[in-house]
Structure formats: C-alpha cells, structure tokens
Amino acid sequence: MTRSRCREDQHECDKKCIPGNKTCDGINDCIDLSDENMCQEYILYCSQNSINKLNLQDYTSRVLIDELQNAVAMDIDIQQGMVYWTDIHHDSIHRAKIGAHNYSFEIVTQFNLESPEGIAVDWIGRKLYWTDGTPGKIEVSELDGRNRAVLISENVQRPRAIVVHPEYRLLFWTKWGKGAQIERCGMNGDSETRQVLVSNNINWPNGLTIDYQTERLWWVDAKMARIESMNFDGTDRRTQINGTNGELGHPFSLAVFGQSIFWTDWGQKLIYRTTKKDSSRRITVVKRLQNFSPMDIKIVHPHQQLKELNPCGLNNGQCSHLCLLSPNQDQQYSCFCPTGLKLWKDKRTCTIEDSPPYILFANSAGMFYSDVDLRHISPVLAGIAGIAAAIDVDLKNKYLYWSNVITDTIERVSLSHIGAVETIIKDHLESVDGIAYDWINRKLYWTDGRRRVIEVADPEEQNSRLTLIDEGLNKPRAIVLHPKTRYMYWTDWGVNAQIERCGMNGNLTTRETVVQGMLGFPNGLAIDYKEEKLWWADAMLDKIETSNLDGSLRRIVLAEESIHPFGLIVYNNSILWTDWVDNMIVKADKLAGQIYFSKDVGSFRPTGIRVVHEQMYPREINPCGRKKKGCSNLCLLNPKPPYYSCHCPNGMLLLPDRKSCRYKGFLG
C-alpha cells in the first residue's frame, strides 16, 4: 500500500497537502475534486439481526450485513471504512468492511465478555473502547483486538453507552439503573481526570453521542422520556425533547449532525428525525421493523471524524503495548499494559504483573499470558515477525525463548520489561520445532528436524554453538531436559517414531531409546519432575501417554479422536496441551485422563506452552560451577562422574588438557 506524503491531519491531492478541515467544506480546493467527493452524509443503524445503510435523500434503506444474532452497539472507522459492533447473544465484538461484497466479518474479541452494550472507535489513536455491563468495566484494545486491557473497573456499575472525543482526549460513558450517571475521563483512564457530569434527574441513559460541530454531549433517557444535551464539563444542561406524554416512546440510541437529531425507538420499532430548532416536528425515516427493534445509530460523514495528528506516532510512542491518548497537555499520550501485565519503571514497557505460577503459550499472532486457571488471556508480545513454535523460559533471568519457524531463528524477550526482541541464533537453522533451556547450567538446547541435528549454545556468549548429535536422527522434534540426572530427552518423527535420551553433553555412550512402537507423530514432550515421569502427546494417534524416565511402565492416559495435541506440560495434578482441532488449550486430570476444562484461544493454532513456576524448574547443584570448572568455552552436564565435561563450539578443537579449545587449522 502506498503511503501518503501528507500528515495524518491533511488531505493529499494534486501532489499537494491541504488541511483536513478543508474537506467537505463546500469549496473545491483540489482539481480532482477529491476533497468534496463522498461528502454526503448517510446513516448506519443496527436492528439486532442486521446492519443497514440509510440514504438521507430518499430514506431508502438497504442491508449491509445480515444474519446477525443480537447486534446492539455499533461504531465506525471512516478512515478504514470499517464498522464495529457488539453482539450480546454471543457476547463478542465484530467488525466488517462497509460495503464489502461478500458481507464477511471478523471477530475482534470473544472471550471474557458478558454484556458488551457500548462501543467507541478512537479514529486518531487507532483504539477500540467498549463497556461490559454485568462485571462493570470499561475496556480498550487495538482495533484488531490485540493488547486488550481493563481501563476502568472501580465504581462502574452497569455501564452502557460510550463515546470518545480524541481531539480533547476524553471518554464519556453512561451508567444505567439505580445510581445512574454520566461520567467522563481521559482516554488513558487516568483517575485524576475522572468526573461525574450528571447524577440527578437521570434513570435509563441508553444512548450517548457527541455533536462535534457544536461540541456538546447528547443523551437519551428511556425512563425519563427525554433527549438532553450539555457542555463537555456538565454545564448548560438542556432538555431538547421532553416526551413525558408518551410521544417519545422508548428511545434507545441517538445521533446528531448539523441541525438534525435522529433516534431509534424500541417501543414502536421506528427511527425518527427532527431538528434542533423545532423538535415538535418529526418524521419517520425508517418505518416499523418487523420482529426486530432498531438499536444503535451512527452518522457517517468526514466531519464526524476529522483528521488529526496521532500523538502516539509511527513508533507507538515507544510503548511496548498500548499507547493511549491523554488529556495531559505536556504528555499527550501514556503507555498502558494489557490485563496481566504492568508498566515497568521506564513507563514504556510492560512486564508480567502476577508472580508465578502462570501460563505462557504461543501462536502465529505472538506470545500470550494466562493465569493457571485460564480465566484471562493477554498478549505478552504481539505481532512478532514469523511464527513461534517451541518455547521455554529462563525463570532466574526472566527470559522467554522461542523458535521462529518462518525466519528460522531462535529469539528471546525479557519478561521483566518486555521490549525489543533479541535474536540468539540466526544462521544455519531450518526447522527448529523443539527448544529447552537448562536452568541449572544456563544453556539452550534445540532440535532441527530438517538438518537432523540436536544442538546447544550459551545464549550469553557469541560463537558458542555446538552440534551435539548429528547421527541416527530422522526428524527430531520436541526436547526436554532433566538436569538432576543430566539427561536430555527428545521425540523423533521418523519412519519408526521413537523417544530417545542421551547425556546433556551428547555423550553417545549414554544414548538409548526409551520408548518405541505404537508412536505416530510424538509432538509434545514433558517431564513431571515431582513424580519423575516422562509424558508425551501423539498427534497422529490422538493420545497422551506416560512412562517412567527409562520408558518402563508405559500407559495411555487419554485417547480421543477429537484431539490434535502440539505442546504439552504437566503441572500439579493436571496435564495441559495446546490443541489444533479447535485452537484450544485443554486441561485434564493426569491420573484419570479426564478432560475437565478447555479454553478457546482464538483463530490461530496454539503451539508451545509452559507453566512458569519454580516447581517446574527444581533446584540442583551445578556441577560446572560458576567458573565452568576451568573449561575455556562450554561446560556441559554429564550423567557420568565427574558430572561435567568441557566442549568446544563448532569449528574448534579440544586440546589435550581436555579444557581448552583452539580453532581448527590454527597452528599457534
């Protein structure tokens, strides 16, 4: 897509830039007339089962999107030509291109919603805000649903309608029922900017809208049967329409543009239009809708969303996650973290808020965090370049490692202050589907299925990479470590699939097959360090098995035709795995194999999974010690006494002292 040469608050035409406020002003400033094209306003309204377009010249209406369940609230992004809406049947948020021929739409958010009855698009900061009435909270996310965060949750009983004014960086919302109010706050949720604007003579404030031309806030009260307006600070409150005699019906939503006022009526299933000057004269612009009530209504016109520079800019304000507009004149934005993360001391990057235990998992959209009960899922690192397959964690130094199967690299990010991604290994990788971090000796191990090797490196030292095993492998996949016994275990997808183990120093005299026969695609591999058991998941045979560490006492724990496990982990009395059938994380009892919980994690297949907790990384004495036992390069754990051995990276030779290395061909 070609990027405009003009700023965000300007319009480009005739190889020049004109101020955005000169569009649709009735004066042709462009030779191609593009500044005055598409300036005729129209209405979008939803009627539970559909979203419709209303022509204001002849009042003809046509369906844009149909076969919806219960669309209630709606807003638009004129810049991208998108309409967003909430569905209280599925408790989800969706979006679609206005005028798309196939009427297809995508899910923006569908988890942990109970009654999303209000939605607002920040067209300057490019964010989405919504209310959730039953739990009483206001949330925010990117327009595509990433980086979702609870913005306001204190004293927000039954929030309903919500609107934003990005120019002033203000957010307005209504609270419904007993203790009904209209409040405002900075769009960054700053509690110091929070203010109650209306708290008396108000009951059911259903609809809320902003008249951007006169800078007034308007609302409808269904119980009081009124349409009212006021200044943004709550002063100069006026009753525009008083329908106490029943002529206002049951208003739900309203829109104001120029001299016109529009509102939807639940009781009569109509949409009305009147004027500010004479509200006693009204016309019906949408006649009685059969079976469905008209819900939200929006005016579509460029002046409803005037262009302005985004203070967050192209670099997202240097925020690692959310950059939200702020009414603070000195700092026009502030960085904000998704649920489960907290802002680090630099006020720009986010770190995980909870202490362990918690879950980390990956998919092609990024890295995600969840509590161990899988109640809330938040992105840790969204929009990575590529697809993460295997993951592991350095608990002590708080690093998350993963293999990227698109860029063929191994990368990491700090969990203490999530920011820039660091590439650890970038050359001569082809298909890394398994990685494992040695938390005792601080080394990183991985499999490469296409190159048929198992390798190791010190992530803190350059040029420390060593190929441990390059013989007798067909398609090595998952890998796990047992530093206490100093063994590594891996699965092999070859013609005769099997699970092997070997000393963590690659000593071939310790290599042996521990599980073979009745294996298809052994994807996930895990160790229960408390019970000293080996676990694996088979994606071809749709089963999960366990055995002793030497392969004895093998048993099938779970066999289901409906599963396709990828990543596997054992935690307390449960096994958890990522499943590709329905894009879920599944939890089952590790003894009986009974599935008792599953969590849909979106439209992308989940891959690697880890539970971050110290019991997953038992403490042991490091035989290599702090000084690597005199090894000049790599000191690796060995199952045999003295339980360590010195090794040289690829391209180097071990000298007769069995500790020092030199480059091959070097004569010095």
**Strand 216-221 with 260-265, pairing:** unpaired
Between 14-23, 453-462, 532-541, 548-557, the lowest mean confidence (pLDDT) is in 14-23
Q: Which of 555, 483, 495, 500 is nearest to 520 (CA)?
A: 495
Q: What separation in angstroms does the CA of 486 have from each of 65, 73, 481, 511, 621?
A: 60, 58, 8, 12, 11
CA–CA distance, 323 with 326 (Å, rounded to integer): 9
Count Cα atoms within 13 angstroms, Cβ side, for 41: 18
- Residue 409 CB contacts under 8 Å (≥ 6 apart), including other chains: 386, 403, 423, 424, 425, 426, 429
- Cis status of the peptide bond prior to 656, with omega within 30 of 0: no
Q: What is the DSSP string of 572-587?
A: TTEEEEEETTTTEEEE
Mean pLDDT of 341-359: 86
Q: What is the pLDDT of residue 287?
A: 82
Identify the band that residue 196 occupies on the pLDDT scale cut at 50, 70 and 90: very high
Q: What is the pLDDT of residue 38?
A: 61
Task: State yes or no: pLDDT of 72 exceeds 50.
Answer: yes
Q: Which residue has the higher pLDDT, 473 or 27?
A: 473
Tens of pLDDT along 431-468?
999 999 999 999 999 999 999 999 999 999 999 999 99
CA–CA distance, 148 with 378 (Å, rounded to integer): 7
- Residue 30 CB contacts under 8 Å (≥ 6 apart), including other chains: 11, 13, 14, 18, 36
- Residue 3 CB contacts under 8 Å (≥ 6 apart), including other chains: none
CA–CA distance, 620 with 38 (Å, rounded to integer): 70
Please give the share of the chain, as a percent, with pLDDT higher than 90. Answer: 71
Count Cα atoms within 13 angstroms, Cβ side, for 166: 22
- Residue 502 CB contacts under 8 Å (≥ 6 apart), including other chains: 468, 469, 487, 488, 508, 510, 511, 512
Q: What is the pLDDT of residue 212?
A: 94
pTM listed for this prediction = 0.75
Identify the band that residue 331 occupies on the pLDDT scale cut at 50, 70 and 90: confident
Mean pLDDT of 623-647: 96
Q: What is the pLDDT of residue 109?
A: 87
Mean pLDDT of 221-240: 95
Backbone phi and psi for residue 616, each to the nearest 5 degrees, phi listed first = -80, -10
Structure token pair of residue 325? 């507009």
Identify the band that residue 36 occupies on the pLDDT scale cut at 50, 70 and 90: low
Q: Which of 368, 365, 338, 362 is nearest to 350 (CA)?
A: 338
Q: What is the pLDDT of residue 448?
A: 98
CB 468 within 8 A of CB 438: no
Q: What is the DSSP string of 291-326?
A: S-----EEEE-GGGG-----TTTTTGGG-SSEEEE-
Could you tell me how far CA 627 lies from the centroid of its own chain?
A: 42
Tens of pLDDT along 380-395?
886 677 889 999 999 9
Between 187-201, 374-388, 472-486, 497-511, the lowest mean confidence (pLDDT) is in 374-388
Query: Three-class SS string for 383-414?
Result: CCCCCEEEEEEECCCCEEEEEECCCCEEEEEE
CB 160 within 8 A of CB 206: yes
Q: What is the pLDDT of residue 37?
A: 66
Structure token pair of residue 566? 């990828």
Identify the band that residue 271 occupies on the pLDDT scale cut at 50, 70 and 90: very high
Beta bridge partners of 194: none
Please give the share of the chain, as a percent, with pLDDT higher than 70. Answer: 95
CA–CA distance, 489 with 525 (Å, rounded to integer): 8
Tens of pLDDT along 148-165?
899 999 999 999 999 999
Domains and CATH numbers, the chain: 1-30 (no CATH), 39-304 (2.120.10.30), 358-375+388-616 (2.120.10.30), 628-663 (2.10.25.10)
- Cis status of the peptide bond prior to 565, with omega within 30 of 0: no
Q: Which residue has the higher pLDDT, 365 or 503?
A: 503
CB 160 within 8 A of CB 175: yes
Q: What is the pLDDT of residue 1?
A: 35
Task: State yes or no: pLDDT of 11 exceeds 50.
Answer: yes
Q: What is the pLDDT of residue 21?
A: 67
Q: What is the pLDDT of residue 2?
A: 42
Query: Three-class SS string for 480-500?
Result: EEECCCCEEEEEECCCCCEEE
What is the radius of gyration, based on Cα positions, of the chain? Answer: 30
* Strand, coil or helix: 115: coil
Which 8-state DSSP code applies to residue 418?
A: B
Task: State yes or no: pLDDT of 419 exceeds 80.
Answer: no
Structure token pair of residue 625? 């010690």
Mean pLDDT of 541-563: 95
Mean pLDDT of 461-482: 97
Task: State yes or no: pLDDT of 133 exceeds 70.
Answer: yes
Unique residue bearing structure tokens 């339980």: 643
Which 8-state DSSP code applies to residue 601?
A: -
CA–CA distance, 430 with 261 (Å, rounded to integer): 62
Count Cα atoms within 13 angstroms, Cβ side, for 185: 20
Q: What is the pLDDT of residue 18?
A: 79
Which 8-state DSSP code applies to residue 430?
A: S
Task: Quote the mean pLDDT of the chain.
Answer: 91
Q: What separation in angstroms does the CA of 406 have from each of 185, 380, 426?
A: 43, 20, 12
